[in-house]
Amino acid sequence: MRFWDSSAMIPLLLEEPHSRLIRALASADGSIAAWWGSPVECCSAVGRLRREGRITVRDEDEIRGALDALAGCWTEIEPTAELRGAAARLVLNHPLRAADALQLAAALAWSRGSGTGHGFVCLDERLRLAARNEGFSVLPDFPDGEN
């Protein structure tokens, strides 16, 4: 099981440049751990794509249905006071947005406080760097500058 950031979930749900690679990671593992707020982040991204005219309303509905099915299968990391405190500490040590700090704090809670020996699937470069600095094995493994 690996922890999945929302940025890596979107290519599971719709065709994007990294979809083949991300879907291969999901198939190889089969188990996803995710933050409680990931569905909201994914819906935000999908809504933005619809507003930009990159997907249709029908596409959006289908993607949201697929997201609901995916969320029904993953291990969800619930919000807690400890997680909030960890996220507050993470923003002091890494150049992260609040939601990304919450994602990383959830991954740390899932991994019992240490990223060492645990996978973190993410496409966001800032969050990838912070996760790597927290000891996670960050996937997919891109050659430098290719993300």
Question: Which CATH number characterizes residue 103's domain?
Answer: 3.40.50.1010
Q: Does residue 69 form part of some domain?
A: yes
**Structure confidence at residue 143 as a pLDDT band (50, 70, 90):** low
Query: Sorting pLDDT into bands at 50, 70 and 90, what band is 63?
Result: very high
Mean pLDDT of 74-94: 97
Domain of residue 132: give its range. Answer: 2-139
Share of the chain above pLDDT 90, in %: 90
Residue 29 lies in a domain: yes
Element (H, E) at 65: helix 57-71
CA distance 71 to 76: 8
Residue 144 is assigned to a structural domain of this protein: no
Residue 147 makes CB contacts below 8 A (sequence gap 6+) with 123, 125, 128
Q: Classify residue 145: in a domain, yes or no.
A: no
Taking only the tens place, the pLDDT of each residue in 14-37 is: 999 999 999 999 999 879 999 999
Average pLDDT over residues 63-71: 96
For the chain, what is the domain count? Answer: 1
**pLDDT reported for residue 29:** 83
